[in-house]
Chain A
Amino acid sequence: MIPVLSVSEFISQINDIIAGEFIIEGEVSGFKTSNGKWIFFDLKDDSATLNCFSTIFTLRVPLEDGMKIRVYGYPKIHDKSGRFSLTVQKAELVGEGALKRAYELLKKKLESEGIFAVERKRPLPFLPQRIGVVASGESAAFGDFKRILNNRWGGVEIILRHVLVQGEQAVPDILQALAEFDACTAQTRPDVIVIIRGGGSIEDLAAFNSEEIVRAVYNSRIPVIAGIGHERDVSLVELAADVRASTPSNAAEIVVPDKRDFIAGLDFELEHMEQNLKHQVSKKKQNLDQYFYLISSKLELPIANGRMLVSRFVQSLSALGASLKNKKEAVLFGERLIKSSDPKHLLKKGYSITRNKAGVVIRRPDQVVSGEEIVVELEGGKIKGEVLEN
């Protein structure tokens, strides 16, 4: 027998029956708030509508009409209005719109922390010998990367750490890969890490917009090049990396030089050195030429003079030789002259020297006065006398 219930009893029973937690996905419409506290919106799919109810405090995610969301809550028929609605405890954004929104929010947050700061980006090694690659080993992305690398450069070691690049397990796997490279010892540690992934939807690339991986790339001790998706996709990992590659192929172009350009550079440097050398040689030769010119022009005069001097010298020598005999005679004559000028020699001849009392030699009569004492020196001695008359 079906019991007869009051309205309240009926609603209460139904509420017991439907009690439980549910997760429902749908599109937001008719979003409105009331009294700054209550939130009302409808969750729709193609053919049905569900009233939703929540409070500002519970629903932290800002919602807009048209957003595709997932709500967690419990159904209830409200006594007073008899209305059926879902009391929402939690809401999540799903789909492109939602992921884009999450991306924007996370980007803002990390940017303010300085995770993307240009100043912290490290320079890449110019000539890496070991390149660590975080990618899906089977992917076209890795294939392109390998091909372009082999084309451009030779003699490097590529160390591949295969990872899952989408899905739930991607984030922990990629984190592990980065940790493994970081833990390498000096003998095996790569000089640079390249993280690459081909194109995909925003859901496919979600791992490369995750906070954990972005932080791991920022904290990597080894410089990182990241090339995720297509040119227009800029994942947060690429912003945190030291260098962003627009595509996996571009990553190969960035990580090593092109050997053709490099070799051309080497040839140019060699040529430049050779030019320098040649320039030095010609400079020295020029100096030498100038020097010789100077010397020869300067020497010509002295050489000419020299020759003249030499001939004069030779002439004088022979003249000297001739005059030497004369000179000897002259010397002898001179000797005789000196001897004959000696006063003592004169005295021998009978001459005398007259001096006054002071010893001054008297040559003229007017040097003495009458009565003055004089001394006369003769060969044998002296005579004292007196001037009688002058």
Chain B
Amino acid sequence: MISLNHMPAKEKFNFAKSYAELQKIVEWFEKEDIDLEEGIKKFEDGSKIVKELKEYLDTMENKIKELKK
């Protein structure tokens, strides 16, 4: 029985998009007065995105392709 290599789950994760989302959250925190409940939720979301971004960078390799004429 041949076991296949486990490929890291890629999904349709868009690195740039997720980073942009994180930036929006960071901006939100720059406000003078932030709602506590909302802030906690946004912080959780932000932490999740950071984790995903880190994982992506650490596991995803660069792919080299040739341009098809």
Contact = CB atoms under 8 A, between A and B. Distances in A.
Given A270-B47, A272-B26, A277-B40, A154 B56 contact: yes
A214 to B, nearest CB: 22
B64 A273 contact: no
B46 A270 contact: yes
A202 interface: no
Determine the main DSSP class of B at the interface with A: helix
Nearest 6 Cβ contacts at the A-B interface? A155-B60, A161-B67, A154-B60, A127-B16, A259-B57, A276-B29
B39 A263 contact: no
Interface stretch (A68-76, A145-153, A232-240): A145-153
B65 A157 contact: yes
A80 to B, nearest CB: 63
Bin the interface of chain B by size.
20 to 34
Contacts of B47: 270
Contact of B66 (A160, A270, A272, A284): A160
Contacts of B57: 153-155, 259, 262-263
Interface of A: 125-127, 129, 132, 146, 149-150, 153-162, 177, 180-181, 259, 262-263, 266-267, 269-270, 272-274, 276-277, 280-281, 284
Contacts of A146: 62, 64
B66 A127 contact: no
A180 B54 contact: no
Given A181-B67, A270-B47, A280 B62 contact: no
B67 to A, nearest CB: 4
Nearest to B35: A280
A158 B15 contact: no
A303 B22 CA distance: 52
